[in-house]
Amino acid sequence: MSTSTATALTLVEAPDSELDLGKWSSWLQERLVPDWRRTEWDPDLLLFTGDLSGPSTGIWKCSIEACSKPTGSSVGFCDTCTRGWRSSDLSREDFLATYIPKPNRRIGLRPSACCITQAEARCPRQSMSLGLCRIHYATWKRDHKRGAQLEDWKQQAQPLAPIALCAVLACPLDSIGYTGLCLGHSKLWTSAVRSGDFDDDAEGKRTWLTTRALPHLALHQFSLNATNPLVRQEILYAVQARERRGRKVNPTVVRRFLALVGDAASLAENDALWQRLFTHHRTTNFDAFVRETHWAIGVALDRFRGIDPKNKTTWDLAAIGVPSKITASGLRTHAGSVDFGVIRQPWLRDLVMEWARAENPASEKLRFRWRAALTASQALQLRPGGGMTPSELSFADMNAVAEAFRSMRRDTGELMSASYRAHWLTEFYEILDFGRAAGLLADMSASFARHSSHRIAREDGNEDNIGKAIPEPVIAQLDAHLDLLAIDTPYCAWGQADVQAMFQTAYLVHRDTGRRPLETCGLLLDCLEFDSGEYSLLWDNRKGRRLRRRLPILTTTAETILEWRERRTRLTIPPRSADHLFPASSANAGPRHLLTGRFGQVLRAWVEAIPELHSTEPGPDGRPLPFDRALIFPYAFRHSYAQRHADAGIRVEVLKELMDHKLVTTTMGYFKVSLKRKREAIQTMRFHVVDRTGRSAPISSEVAYQAKSVAVPFGNCSEPSNVQAGGKACPIRFQCAGCGFYRPDPSYLPAVEDHVRSLKADRETARAIDADDFVVRNLTDQITAFHGVIKAIRERMDQLPADERRSVDEAAAVLRKVRAADGVPSPTDRRLLLPLTVATGEQPR
């Protein structure tokens, strides 16, 4: 499709012609689901009676087992049982287990038949009092005054003939008198006549019955009897459209909506009615129903008129079926829109729209591409000609576009990270690539293209930055205020103590295991494994898609989980959360476990509620400065876990396994050694440097330790050309033990010992393949020389006092972490035995 054709399509909008209500009604009728909710919707009676046990009805059965009344809460009581609980002295759990409500009438259902029975024939009229119908009860009262006893009287009474039901559609009650209405509807009809709204004749009653009268409705019912026939179709269409998007049918909300609609002829193009509906705020559910019904009718109107929603400049994402990443199924449950009209250049606007039509991307991807195109559009608009003509675009225009991405800022005015800005720029380039591949940019100037100078390089991090880890002293302060966590937090209709117990358990597990928030919140109920006296946590690496991983954990952490599991058995859990340690807050659709957003929300509220949080940094008066509470969020505890283990001297290879990373370099990003600790370690270590023969060769200062040497696999090297090349241009191929510039210290002992073992293995291999004597001799001489280095360093260490020896060991551990984080090659990397060529300048990604 050419850009000119695409432009023509995007300009199609709704016609101004008057809506043909007859054709509109026929169009709706053809698209209504036949036999929709067969057991709940009665099309003849125009009555919906929700299934209280069904998952798609927003009304539930009362939690009391013996009660059948509906309630608006999935774990709540009906009004009758609520009054019974409040008047009792029982706990909620005891009340649930023991309470049996008294039988009573159910609104919307026909009462039982009159109890008068003779010769197996029972009076068919509805009971009113004492099990008797209205006529039998009146007769009994008269005879009772004359001394009749009830049981004897019942034996003599005869069943009556059936009478017609109330004339109101779907009303299950018997009519009384000449009105043909039940007692309740008779009163309503009389009131309507007295108010002057209807004439007291047959025509007036017929109008009232079809436009105003509704049956007696229970909480889980709604009736469309009193609405215009076209409005019935529109509401049914909207309700079914909402259901397809995963929404529940809430009869209470529908009844409120119908009451406001009244006798309207149609919902379509009725701006006055919608204005009244949108301003009539009742509840969140009601507002959502109004909003989504308005959306469904609007989308249906476009389709009725033959308008493709993808051919409009503003896309309704729900109408065109753009999937959403925020739901587990991908189904978009929230309407959203993208306005392509803000992209001023027609060729660019049509290009992005054509890409979206072809790819049907998820909303996140569409948002990225749209934002990238908008950024480029705003930059081109400031150029001569405004970037309107593709054939006139120049390299200078592309420079301007690239500069716009370099200076992208967040809504707060803060400059975006380099990786984020580079991502946006790449998205724009991919839009152009699509256009060229699809033949949509045949007229575009060849000079308007990417160049290596447009790349946005990553900035180097601050070497004093300790990452996102929360300092251990701050975590200790959090633990001291654990009793404040989840105060006044509603959850699952549980008691306050139970809610706090769950969130406290989630926090402690999250703190002790260092898993990602989703991995902690999504733990299964059987997440513990006990073997050989040790506990392991069974968890799913959602990001890496590696399931049923095992993590060794402390016994105290396991006991915390076991204690919560035992307490959980006494709580009411949504059925779909039965297999999860931390259940969801409701039985509605969505994740089956505690939401990470809810966990983070409760955590933030807790942190803000703590009176004081001190940092480890002293202020001008010597007192510790307040800690920045914004640095405490769920993911930060994963960094704290890594930093805690790194500070404890855990080898990075082991920490990689604990973090379940595939690469050591990924683990390095989770902990850092501060510049202060590095300087302190160097200050200690510089006095213990030796040369290749083992003689003491202390460095004059910590600056000289770093500036005049470079870290190589087995020690520092001060050979000028190798230092200049960053340790990658050794003139004798890393045979350090024979070099006068070799400067090892105790921090390199493990590396030197590993290298000696490697050299011995190489020597045996050389002998096995019958290598020449000089090869074996060279390896033997290196082994001997390195043994001398090891011996000299160990003897010097053994002569140190215990306190100084401990300081040297700690400094050595710090420096080994620094080298690992800086990417110093491992001594076991066999490629180090070959000369390395040093390339200067930045390399392409």
pLDDT at 583 over 80: yes
Highest mean pLDDT among 240-244, 723-727, 800-804: 240-244
d(CA 103, CA 131): 12
pLDDT band at 634 (very low <50, low <70, confident <90, very high): very high
Q: Are strands 121-122 and 41-42 parallel, antiparallel or unpaired?
A: unpaired
d(CA 585, CA 574): 8
d(CA 347, CA 441): 8
Mean local confidence (pLDDT), 62-86: 86
pLDDT of residue 456: 82
φ, ψ for residue 389, nearest 5 deg:
-110, 115
pLDDT of residue 836: 29
pLDDT at 328 over 80: no
Summarised one tens digit per residue, pLDDT across range 24-40 is 999 999 999 988 998 99
d(CA 623, CA 614): 9
Summarised one tens digit per residue, pLDDT across range 386-401 is 999 999 999 999 999 9
pLDDT of residue 701: 63
pLDDT of residue 672: 62
Mean local confidence (pLDDT), 687-716: 67
Per the rule left: phi > 0, alpha: psi between -120 and 50, beta: everything else, 494 is beta
Cα–Cα distances in angstroms (integers) from residue 341 to residues 227, 302, 352, 353, 565, in the given order: 39, 19, 11, 10, 54
pLDDT band at 485 (very low <50, low <70, confident <90, very high): very high
pLDDT at 15 over 80: no
pLDDT of residue 809: 76
pLDDT at 134 over 50: yes
pLDDT at 544 over 90: no
Least confident of 273-287, 480-494, 522-536, 735-749: 735-749
Least confident of 386-395, 494-503, 707-716: 707-716
Mean local confidence (pLDDT), 611-624: 83
d(CA 823, CA 830): 16
Beta partners for 583?
A: 593
Q: Are strands 624-626 and 614-618 parallel, antiparallel or unpaired?
A: antiparallel
Least confident of 201-215, 266-280, 489-503, 704-718: 704-718
pLDDT band at 700 (very low <50, low <70, confident <90, very high): low
Q: Which two tokens stand for residue 741?
A: 């510039």
Mean local confidence (pLDDT), 796-825: 70
Closest to 255 in 3D by CA, of 278, 276, 227: 227
Output the pTM of the full model.
0.52
pLDDT of residue 739: 84
Mean local confidence (pLDDT), 713-731: 73
Share of the chain above pLDDT 90, in %: 38
pLDDT at 810 over 80: no
Mean local confidence (pLDDT), 119-138: 91
Please answer whether residues 332 and 367 qualify as being in contact, where contact means their C-beta atoms are separated by less than 8 angstroms.
Answer: no
φ, ψ for residue 496, nearest 5 deg:
-60, -40
Domains of the chain: 322-459 (no CATH), 482-609 (1.10.443.10), 674-833 (no CATH)
Mean local confidence (pLDDT), 692-712: 65
pLDDT band at 360 (very low <50, low <70, confident <90, very high): confident
pLDDT band at 474 (very low <50, low <70, confident <90, very high): very high
**Residues in the chain, overall count:** 845
Mean pLDDT of the chain: 83
Please answer whether residues 632 and 785 qualify as being in contact, where contact means their C-beta atoms are separated by less than 8 angstroms.
Answer: no
pLDDT of residue 738: 82
Mean local confidence (pLDDT), 393-414: 90
Least confident of 280-284, 287-291, 688-692: 688-692
Please answer whether residues 147 and 189 qualify as being in contact, where contact means their C-beta atoms are separated by less than 8 angstroms.
Answer: no
Mean local confidence (pLDDT), 668-691: 62
φ, ψ for residue 507, nearest 5 deg:
-65, -45
- 266 burial level (CB within 10 Å; 0-12, 13-18, 19+): middle
Cα–Cα distances in angstroms (integers) from residue 57 to residues 60, 232, 252, 493, in the given order: 8, 19, 11, 19
Mean local confidence (pLDDT), 197-207: 91
Least confident of 86-95, 234-243, 310-319, 483-492: 310-319
Q: How many of the other CB atoms lie within 10 Å of CB of 5?
A: 12
pLDDT band at 838 (very low <50, low <70, confident <90, very high): very low
pLDDT at 723 over 60: yes
pLDDT of residue 613: 92
d(CA 338, CA 335): 11
Element (H, E) at 232: helix 229-244
Mean local confidence (pLDDT), 712-723: 74
Mean local confidence (pLDDT), 349-359: 90
d(CA 19, CA 237): 18
pLDDT at 359 over 90: no
pLDDT at 269 over 90: no
Please answer whether residues 569 and 490 qualify as being in contact, where contact means their C-beta atoms are separated by less than 8 angstroms.
Answer: no
Closest to 67 in 3D by CA, of 106, 34, 38: 106
pLDDT of residue 684: 61
Element (H, E) at 276: helix 271-279
User: Which residue has 């379509």 as its token pair?
Assistant: 268
pLDDT of residue 465: 42
pLDDT at 832 over 90: no
d(CA 56, CA 59): 9
d(CA 528, CA 561): 8
pLDDT of residue 712: 67
pLDDT at 459 over 70: no
pLDDT at 13 over 60: no
Mean local confidence (pLDDT), 80-103: 86
pLDDT of residue 679: 56
pLDDT of residue 587: 59
